[in-house]
Amino acid sequence: MAFSLHRIGVAAWTWPDVHNGLASAALLRAGDVALGISHSGQTRETVAMVAEAASRDATTVALKSFPGSPPADVADVVLLTAAQATTFRPDALSARHPQLVLLDLLYIAVAQRTHARSHTAFQRSAQAVAAHRLNDVAA
């Protein structure tokens, strides 16, 4: 998601470390958006980062699978996905596909709403890496 947004000129970061995520959330302000992703909604670190961003007046979004879980208490927007666990695909893994689809839809929505800027940025970023392609096959 962060890479896709960068390609269309939207500054975005992802933080796999809670300390970096909290520090980043503390620097957000009104007009910024923080997105927390957790299948169960019970991940303490994710809840803490979303809460920190909310305390700085950033718009907060929680992407999760369970409606009543904690990020809903601090998030401005809650996006829910559905997942069905199976013998060979536990809950956490089965949740990834619907969450990835939703993230892709969010990316497309941002690109559509900022079409002129996004199109220009995407063309420029594609041109910047074009020389590193092995052949002229469109991706």
Residue extents of the structural domains in the chain: 2-124
- Looking at residue 91, its pLDDT comes to 65
- Looking at residue 105, its pLDDT comes to 96
Residues facing 64 on adjacent strands: 80
Amino acid code (one letter) for 63: L
Strands (E), the chain: 33-37, 59-64, 77-80
Q: Kind and range of the H or E element at 88?
A: none
pLDDT digits (tens, 9 = 90+) for 117-131: 999 999 999 999 999
Classify residue 9 as left (phi > 0), alpha (psi -120 to 50) or beta. left
pTM reported for the whole predicted model: 0.82
Mean pLDDT of 75-99: 78
- Looking at residue 34, its pLDDT comes to 97
Distance CA 73, CA 18 (A): 19
Mean pLDDT of 42-54: 92
The closest of 74, 34, 30 to 56, measured between CA atoms, is: 30
CATH number listed for the domain at residues 2-124: 3.40.50.10490
What's the distance, CA 37 to chain centroid? 7
- Write out the two tokens for 27: 């620097």
- Looking at residue 87, its pLDDT comes to 66
Mean pLDDT of 55-64: 95
User: Are 48 and 60 within 8 A, CB to CB?
Assistant: no
User: Are 95 and 65 within 8 A, CB to CB?
Assistant: yes
Mean pLDDT of 85-105: 79
85 has pLDDT over 70: no
Sequence-distant (≥ 6) Cβ neighbours of residue 89 within 8 angstroms: none
Mean pLDDT of 78-85: 82
- Looking at residue 69, its pLDDT comes to 76
Q: What is the mean pLDDT of the chain?
A: 88
